[in-house]
Amino acid sequence: MSHFFKFEADFVESLRCIPMQVRMKLDTCGVKLKLTHWHKFTQQERQELVEMPCTTVEEIQTYRQYLQQRVIQQTGTPASELPIESHPAWMDATTIPPSVQEKAEEFGVSLTTPQWASLAPEQRFALIKLSRSSHENKNFFPALQEFQLIELLS
């Protein structure tokens, strides 16, 4: 079963944007997929990329091969590669990345290590991605709310 975050609700039905769960798989398998690549995929191919597992060494390799085959089929050239982190920050429940803490502080939130540790790796991944200056950050605050790191405003 696929899991989408509530802050992704405006695009998950159409999959017009790359959902966080696929972004996490891309980082896991070391492929830099551009939105232009994503848009060339069929709805079925996008859904397959959402549903395909990407956790074991074999699954990661299969995911990478499938993804690169789709990109080559659509564009004629493979997608760029990303370095694969052996210890990705989202798997570290003991250290809040500075970018996440700084972004949270913009909203008056000071995250604690126990709060960070209570999050699932997928949630930590989303906050890391949403806190980067190169990313559109409009979903950072909704993610804080969804992950119960801030009180819902009434």
Task: Residue count of the chain, please give it.
Answer: 154
* Extents of the domains making up the chain: 6-81, 89-146
Write down the pTM of the prediction.
Answer: 0.90
What residues form DSSP beta bridges with 32?
A: 80
**What was the pLDDT predicted at 154?**
37
User: How far apart are the C-alpha atoms of 5 and 144, rounded to whole Å?
Assistant: 11
Q: Say whether pLDDT at 153 is over 80.
A: no
User: How far apart are the C-alpha atoms of 28 and 2, rounded to whole Å?
Assistant: 17
* C-beta of residue 27 within 8 angstroms of C-beta of residue 88: yes
The CB-side HSE value for 31 (13 A sphere, CA atoms) comes to: 28
Q: What is the largest CA-CA distance in the chain?
A: 51
Tell me the pLDDT of the chain averaged across its residues. Answer: 91
Q: Say whether pLDDT at 1 is over 60.
A: no
Q: What is the pLDDT of residues 28-60, one digit of tens each?
A: 999 999 999 999 999 999 999 999 999 999 999
126 to 74, 79, 99: CA distances (angstroms): 28, 22, 12
**What was the pLDDT predicted at 22?**
96
